[in-house]
Chains A and B, each alone.
Chain A
């Protein structure tokens, strides 16, 4: 990693931030497709809002901003949010969208109540905790990048090893159920991947905007390819580019990181939807037009 940082034409702190945001962007972009392609895009939204109370609670317990503890708290509450959503859906009569809405309200309201509690506690360390709402890449140090590389690398390794299983569960849940894979293990696995993506990515773009870092790279990659084996790395690369470039841009312009990264990645997704070579909106419109013209020519020729 140190050589990579030395190679970047940036001063050391900026290079760390760019590197870290790129790693987080890659992890989020590569892990999210397994959830997004199953119609669980907004699942990630509720989970990222769910990290807020976890972070604040971890701070209340430890009394200082220890990065590892905050991550653990965030992960615990993201899992709890996922469990609440799945539980509400399974209990019947609550549709997935309503379950997501209820979870979103519960976690965010709890997070705000806890934040006001911390604000009244007078602990001077608490300032900057609300950066978890909008992300703050600027404060990243080398240790954060190592944590991201380790956790993200572990999750990506799991994806490579269980790729065939994850693929059949993503595109054909019935088949994998018939083939003898218990559906709950797949559910748990794809939820765990989403938890890692969310907990790490929240650092760059913040809880409110996290859903864009999950969904937009996947949408862009989907417009470019149909094969999951190429979609996952492309999605990761788009996430990495947006994270790295967005963090550097935001730092230079003295803007908050999260919104800049989100606008960049949404712009890329929109461009991919419009200009993708075969499945893009423009190329499809062009094909329809040429098809109509050749049809008309053939008609007049007769």
Chain B
């Protein structure tokens, strides 16, 4: 395996770690699609920063992206509070408009520039090994550096706030009663997800954001009821997708981001079919009625 391949796998893997640590909270609180919305909504931030400064520095692009991620979240929250439309409609109204702004910006002003649609939508993880920066005489690929840093920070975030996050996910009332500052922690978790989505957008492109956040976490939810197991399983699935997907893309000369996404979905479907107790195949063999078990716990977790 060449060094470039290794860099791509490590970049995707560390991103999968960050997303896998936060994804289960989104899935359990039924906020999965906010990751999709943020992943799309950051585009005008990236484009705008480029148009303003004329350079595509990672830091500025990330700042612009973070600003629009925030606008997106605040926007759909404000829409939702008018009570004229549901949460999902509010999301569906916000992010396409922001994404459109980004596409218009690209097509009108920045055509032929470094940011083109292909690399922002399809993910430019293919180019990750070539975007290097010098640190202490060594050429380090910048996407790898940012994603590893993001993974470490996310891990620290989850470890430090483990108790309130855990309580908030399974028993929001208990979290309130014991004075865990429920709303603050919940907002922090959303902000953390938004920041991870922004880094992901910059280093691998928009489509893998929703894949890494939702698919491994949804699969992990089929395997376990325990939050810590869920986090481990979803990070594991993320790494498997990164490794198998990259190898498959090289073997079939195909899109790396696309192959990683397909691998993650295959993992999900395999678990859906063959997971012990909850898998479809298992239930067929045991002849248990489809919704006999596991359902009450599911509803309490989503309260």
Q: Collect the chain A residues with CB atoms within 8 Å of residue B278's CB.
A: 92-93
The closest CB in chain A to the CB of B279 belongs to: A91
Q: Which B residue sits closest to A216, measured CB to CB?
A: B93
Q: Whole-angstrom distance between the alpha carbons of A117 and B92 in the complex?
A: 31
- Of A44, A45, A88, the residue contacting B272 (CB under 8 A) is A88
User: Which of A99, A101, A106, A219 is in CB contact (< 8 Å) with B262?
Assistant: A106
Q: Is A241 part of the contact surface with B, judged by Cβ < 8 Å?
A: no
Within 8 Å by CB of A116, from B86, B101, B258, B268, lies: B258
Number of B residues with CB within 8 Å of any CB on chain A? 61
User: Taking A39-B88, A105-B210, A105-B265 as contacts, is the C-beta distance between A112 and B122 under 8 angstroms?
Assistant: yes
Contact A98 B218 (CB under 8 A): yes
Indicate if the CB atoms of B215 and A256 lie closer than 8 Å: no
Q: Which of B4-12, B29-37, B167-175, B178-186 contacts A (4 or more CB under 8 A)?
A: B29-37
Residues in A with CB closer than 8 Å to B259 are 109, 113
Contact B33 A259 (CB under 8 A): no
Q: Given the interface contacts A91-B272, A134-B103, does A222 sit within 8 Å of B295 by beta carbon?
A: no
Cβ–Cβ contact B93 & A101, under 8 A: no
Q: Are B254 and A116 in contact (CB under 8 A)?
A: yes
- DSSP majority for the B interface? helix
CB contacts (< 8 Å) of A30 on chain B: these are: none
Residue B191 CB within 8 A of the other chain:
no
Q: Which segment of A64-72, A190-198, A260-268 sits at the interface?
A: A260-268
Chain A residues closer than 8 Å to B65, beta-carbon distance: none
The segment out of A1-9, A157-165, A205-213, A232-240 that lies at the interface is: A205-213
Tell me if A102 and B265 are in contact (CB < 8 A).
yes
Contacts of A44 in B (CB 8 A): 92
Chain A residues contacting B213 (CB-CB under 8 Å) are: 101
A116 CA to B252 CA in the complex, in Å? 10
Contacts of B187 in A (CB 8 A): none
Query: B188 at interface (Cβ–Cβ under 8 A)?
Result: no
Given contacts A106-B262, A109-B261, contact A98 B40 (CB under 8 A): no
Complex interface residues of chain B between 69 and 98 (CB less than 8 A to chain A): 79, 82, 84-86, 88-89, 91-93, 96-97
Contact of A273 among B84, B122, B222, B254 (CB under 8 A): B84
B96 interface neighbour in A116, A262, A279, Cβ under 8 Å: A262
The reply to whether A45 and B84 form a contact with Cβ atoms under 8 Å apart is: no
Is B226 in contact with chain A by the CB < 8 A criterion?
no
What's the least CB distance linking A152 to chain B, in Å? 21
A90 to B27, CA, bound (A): 17
Cα A192 to Cα B82 with chains together (Å): 31
> Bound complex: CA of A279 vs CA of B85, how far in Å?
12
B99 is contacted by which of A39, A117, A209 (Cβ under 8 Å)? A209
Q: Are B265 and A106 in contact (CB under 8 A)?
A: yes
* Chain A residues whose C-beta falls within 8 Å of the C-beta of B117 in the assembled complex: 133-134
Question: Contact at A260–B222, with CB atoms within 8 Å?
Answer: no
Pair A41/B262 contact, Cβ less than 8 Å = no
Q: How far is the CA of A70 from the CA of B12 in the complex (A)?
A: 33
Cα distance A94–B103 when bound, in Å? 33
Q: A105 to B215, Cβ gap below 8 A?
A: yes
Instruction: Give the size of the chain A interface in residues (CB under 8 angstroms).
Output: 59
**Cross-chain contact B258 with A100 (CB below 8 angstroms):** no
Q: Please measure, in the bound complex, the distance between the C-alpha atom of A144 and the C-alpha atom of B98, giving whole angstroms.
A: 29
- The answer on a CB contact under 8 Å between B258 and A109 is yes
Interface mask (A33-45 → B, CB under 8 Å = 1, otherwise 0)? 0001001111011
- Complexed CA–CA distance, A56 and B27 (Å): 31
A255 within 8 A of B: yes
Taking CB atoms and an 8 Å cut-off, the chain B residues in 83-132 that contact chain A are 84-86, 88-89, 91-93, 96-97, 99-101, 103-104, 107-108, 117, 121-122
Contacts of A97 in B (CB 8 A): 27, 30-33, 88
Residues of B within 8 A of A209 (CB): 96, 99-100
State whether A255 touches B93 (Cβ < 8 A). no
Contact with A along B257-282 (1 / 0, CB 8 A): 11111101100100010000010100
B290: Cβ under 8 A from any A Cβ: yes
What are 8 sample pairs from A and B whose C-beta atoms fall under 8 A apart? A98-B30, A98-B217, A101-B214, A105-B265, A109-B262, A208-B96, A259-B107, A266-B97
Interface residues of A (CB under 8 A from B): 36, 39-42, 44-45, 88, 90-102, 104-106, 108-113, 115-117, 120, 133-134, 208-209, 211-212, 214-216, 218-219, 222-223, 255-256, 258-260, 262-263, 266, 269, 273, 279, 281
Q: What are the 7 closest A-B residue pairs judged by CB atoms, nearest first?
A: A109-B261, A101-B214, A259-B100, A112-B258, A212-B96, A113-B258, A105-B211
